Amino acid sequence: MDIIRQRKNFISKLVFQIATIAGIFALIILLFSIFNEAFGYVIFENEKSPAEIYDSGIGLENASKEDLVKILENNISKGLMRRFNFDQSFETRDRENVLELVIIEVVNPTIVKAWALSTSIFQKKMIIETLKNDYPEGNLEFRSWLSLDFLFSAQSSIPEKTGIITALTGSLMLLLIAIILAFPLGVGTALYLEEYARPNKLNKLIQLNIYNLAGIPSIIYGMLGLAVFVRFLEPITSGNLFNNAANSTANGRTILSAGLTLGLLILPIIIINAQEAIRAVPKSLKFSSYGLGATKWQTIWSHILPYSMDRILTGSILAVSRALGETAPLIVVGASTFVAQKPDSIFSKFTALPIQIYQWTARPQPEFRKVAAAAIIVLLILLLTLNAGAVMLRNHHKNKKKG
Amino acid sequence: MENNNILNLKDLNVYYGAFRAVKDINLNIQKNKITAFIGPSGCGKSTVLRSINRMNDLVEGTKTVGEIIFQDRNIYNRNVDAVSLRKQIGMVFQKPNPFPKSISDNITWGAKINGYKGDMGQLVEESLKSAALWDEVKDKLDENALRLSGGQQQRLCIARTIAVKPEIILMDEPASALDPIATLKIEDLMKTLSKDFTIIIVTHNMQQASRISDYTAFLMTDENRSGHLVEYNRTSKIFINPKNKQTEDYISGRFG
Amino acid sequence: MEIRVNFNEKLSKLNDEIIKMGVLVEEALDKAMDSLINLDEDLANQVIAEDEFVNNLEINIEDHCILLIAREQPVASDLRYLVTALKISTQLERMGDHAVHIAKGTIRLKSNNGTDSIPLFGMQEMAGRVKSMLQRVLTAYVQCDAEEAKNIALLDAEVDRIHDEVIREVFSKFMSTSNDQQKATTLLFIDRFLERFGDHITNICEWIVYSVTGEHVELD
């Protein structure tokens, strides 16, 4: 008997271990494929070689400012020249600045071939061969697709120049709106259901529905957002009612609509989390407050909320991180795929990180997959930061509770 | 029994839903004395205690029938506010449950919500002194109360209750979670406090009841599991010469 | 912080009652001896009447001890102390009774003998000795002083010695003539009661030693 029991024990342990290892393995593959894409060798080819436009022996990098201005005048249109001068006159620009203009506008290097990180490391010979044979004019360079330029550039149709600042601000504004809507509403509802509502049929029905809402596919929320915020409440969500419509033609497909939709999406999650947090407040704590002659509200405000706030916040942060990754409802509500300018108000058109990633992966140029990988890394870092914040918050409050 | 009643329980019945937890209790509680409720588990002694400051209101499905006369009115009258009643009839619980705040905040909070306008520092000192805790904590009033030992926490809870200046203090097995020495300290404290307050204590510990109380009420369950009062008398009578056979069996450990 | 303050207060109250009882017994002995010396019948009757106080006090002390045992669950030295108090109160009550017996002897002597003074031999000295032993033993009890108790018990030997001497003297003086035999018997009884005082005190000493050390000893 004992041997059979021990064997059973051993087998079940083995199964669980295999399951865990499989999970970790999947995660590693995921991370590998992302990082594999985000870094690697690229070959640049110049539209005009530096030697061609500047033939003194010292090389373009060391040319004087006057020479560089001359090169610009010779190679670009008068109109473009005027625009640059208008932005900042050439007298006040320094040499580095003019050199940059020359490189971007005249030399204009473009990526003609890019490799993944693994190829770059293990098949460098092949890469050099390719460079020699197919791109004799090209320059080989190791490139990190994730860079500060990438973070702070607006969208562009050229892969090496595009950036995620529009999507990033879009995402952050969406989250802010969603939190402003869902947090007070969610905590309030949870307080009502836990502390005030009597367990009658109606309240049980409400409770059941909240549980169900938390499980509804997010695209349904998208439909709701489309019907209610985009269509029905268009005067408000487009800003027309406040004479504040952005000069874009958003027509209700604004950050506000999408943020409210995401808010509704995370509302049930926040409610359920907050309810559990409030339920976890020891009865003895409540009773001691009532025992001192405190009213319900005094008890809630001074004891129940402070005691449960860490769990409420943790749950809310996790809900928010879910909202950060949501794509479907945003598509339905009408996220724009291409927004060249940062959104400047809640009535602007918008795009968000997951939308942007989806859109880049759908492009035909292979370089955009690398851009998408870099954006995914940004998204993951944001998510991890939020979750780490949740953990830290929980530990902080746990220590406080322990005294 | 001398007539110095502060609280009269008249035909008190408490129901949880359809279940009658407490049946026809009639008791007069003496002012500035310690009254102990003893009896086997489930005999309704805690229920009776909680009905005295209407703590049972917080338990869903509780119904109280009968009267508890305090200051010439039935506390279950419609026009009596349970919240302000609880300021006059304070409560100390089984498990020490200080607020997860500083020691002084624990004391001042109750006073603050009840509109105390005086000097808070003085209130903290007075209350802690009355609870025989001042000397142990006077140098760490800003420390979190949860860092104190169990016995100190319970004395802090008593200090917190005193700070609201109630007439009656209800104690629901206040020492059952404490070690013997901490228990004795709490008992001494109760003796001292009974000079200024009326104390009603529920305890599982008969020796504790015999040590500290002036009056003892013995409750028991009947065949329907409803708790009722078997005997109520001076503690010395109950523990040396009980009138009822059930009381004798219970206190001598032959039953229960 | 000091704990069980309440119990300690009640214990010291009990002490007071025992001291009070001891003082009453001492007074009774004093008065009984005075009545004997002066053949004062009124004083003797007073001693007999006042014994009720001693008896009542014994009941009080017993109740007090039972109450404390029932309510405070004393253990170890506290328990021994309370049991000792019970025993001491019994011994003191007996001593009170002996004082009454002496007073009754006085009355009998008076009715037989009229106002003629009666020789008391060493009995006055015995009474003085047991009185001082009684005073010392009560102090030893309150102070839980086992050494002092043992010392006091040693003094009983002297009382016994005088007791034997008194017997011899009474025999030699009165037994020769038959009409003095009743007087002699009474005197022998009184002598015997005084000797019993010493024995009771010795018993108390033994209980004090028990209270302090937890060991039963024989101290005679």
pLDDT at A246: 53
CB atoms within 10 A of CB B71: 11
- Strands annotated E in B32-136: 34-38, 62-70, 73-74, 89-92
Q: For residue B2, name the pLDDT band (cuts at 50, 70, 90).
A: low
Residues B50, B37: Cα–Cα separation, whole Å: 12
Interface test with C, best of B134, B181, B184 (most C CBs within 10 A): B184
pLDDT at C38 over 70: yes
Contact check, Cβ <8 Å, B99/A403 = no
C76: contact with B, CB 8 A cutoff: no
Strand partners, B35: B200, B215
Strand partners, B169: B90, B199
pLDDT at B156: 93
Closest partner CB to C72 (pick from B188, B211, B240): B211
Please, which chains are in contact with C (at least 3 CB pairs closer than 8 A)? B
C181: contact with B, CB 8 A cutoff: no
Q: For residue B256, name the pLDDT band (cuts at 50, 70, 90).
A: low
Instruction: Give the number of C-alpha atoms closer than 13 A to the C-alpha of residue C214, restricted to the C-beta side.
Output: 5
Closest partner CB to C71 (pick from B132, B188, B235): B235
Residues B52, B47: Cα–Cα separation, whole Å: 9
User: Domains of chain A: which residue ranges?
Assistant: 41-149, 165-402
**E strand or H helix at B9, and its extent?**
strand B5-16
pLDDT at B253: 81
Contact check, Cβ <8 Å, B188/C6 = yes
Closest partner CB to B90 (pick from A282, A285, A292): A292
pLDDT at B10: 92
CATH for A165-402 (3.40.50.2020, 1.10.10.10, 3.90.1010.10, 1.10.3720.10): 1.10.3720.10
Q: State the Rg of chain C over Cα.
A: 19
Residues A121, A102: Cα–Cα separation, whole Å: 33
Distances (CA, A) of A54 to A75, A107, C105: 11, 11, 151
- On chain B, the residues whose CB falls within 8 A of the CB of C74 are none
Contact check, Cβ <8 Å, A400/B144 = yes
Dihedrals φ, ψ of B224, to 5°?
-95, 15
User: Domains of chain C: which residue ranges?
Assistant: 2-213
Residue with tokens 């992966």: A361
DSSP state of A154: P
Cα angle at C164 between C24 and C217, to 5 degrees?
65
pLDDT at C54: 94
pLDDT at B184 over 70: yes
pLDDT in tens, C101-135: 999 999 988 887 666 677 788 888 999 999 999 99
Mean pLDDT computed over C87-107: 94
Tens of each residue's pLDDT in chain A, 403 residues: 688 888 888 999 999 999 999 999 999 999 999 888 888 888 888 877 777 777 776 777 777 887 888 887 877 778 888 888 887 777 788 787 888 777 777 777 788 888 888 888 888 888 888 888 888 878 888 888 888 888 888 877 777 788 888 888 889 999 999 999 999 999 999 999 998 888 889 989 999 999 999 889 999 999 998 988 888 888 877 777 776 655 556 677 888 889 999 999 999 999 999 999 999 998 888 988 998 889 999 999 999 998 898 889 989 988 998 888 888 888 888 777 677 677 777 788 888 888 888 888 888 888 888 888 999 999 999 999 988 988 888 888 777 666 5
Interface test with B, best of A284, A292, A297, A310 (most B CBs within 10 A): A292
Distances (CA, A) of C179 to A306, C169, C183: 103, 17, 8
Cα angle at A229 between A227 and A234, to 5 degrees?
100
Burial pattern C165-176, b for ≥16 Cβ within 10 A else e, equals ebbeebeeebee
Specify the range with the lowest mean pLDDT, choosing from B231-235, C4-8, C12-16.
Answer: C4-8
- Strands annotated E in A120-189: 139-144
- A157 to chain B, minimum CA–CA distance in Å? 57
Closest among B190, B86, B197 to B131, alpha carbons compared: B190
Closest partner CB to B147 (pick from A282, A290, A403): A403
pLDDT at C1: 54
The answer, yes or no, to whether A and B have at least 3 beta-carbon pairs within 8 Å is yes
Helices and strands (DSSP H and E) totals, chain A: 19, 3
**E strand or H helix at B14, and its extent?**
strand B5-16
Q: Specify whether the CB–CB gap between B132 and B95 falls below 8 A.
A: no
Which homologous superfamily is C2-213 in?
A: Phosphate transport system protein phou homolog 2; domain 2 (1.20.58.220)
Which strands form B34-38's sheet, in the order they lie side by side? B73-74, B62-70, B5-16, B19-30, B227-234, B215-221, B34-38, B198-202, B168-172, B89-92
- C66 to chain B, minimum CA–CA distance in Å? 8
Contact check, Cβ <8 Å, C3/B135 = no
pLDDT in tens, C160-171: 999 999 999 888
Chain C residue with Cα closest to B239? C70
Mean pLDDT computed over C181-196: 89
pLDDT at B35 over 90: yes
- B253 to chain C, minimum CA–CA distance in Å? 13
What is the pTM (predicted TM-score) of this model? 0.75
- Give the SS3 label for residue A332: helix
For B159, counting Cβ atoms within 10 Å of its Cβ (0-12 exposed, 13-18 middle, 19+ buried), the class is: buried
- On chain B, the residues whose CB falls within 8 A of the CB of A288 are 91, 93, 97-99, 157, 160
Go through chain A and tell me how many residues it has: 403
- B32 to chain C, minimum CA–CA distance in Å? 16
**E strand or H helix at B156, and its extent?**
helix B150-163
Residues B37, B202: Cα–Cα separation, whole Å: 5
Residues A353, A350: Cα–Cα separation, whole Å: 10
**Highest averaged pLDDT of the listed ranges B58-62, B83-87, B252-256, C178-182:** B83-87
pLDDT in tens, B148-163: 998 899 999 999 999 9
Q: For residue C23, name the pLDDT band (cuts at 50, 70, 90).
A: very high
B195: contact with C, CB 8 A cutoff: no
- B246 to chain A, minimum CA–CA distance in Å? 33
pLDDT at C178 over 90: no
Say how many Å lie between the first and final Cα of chain A, rounded: 49
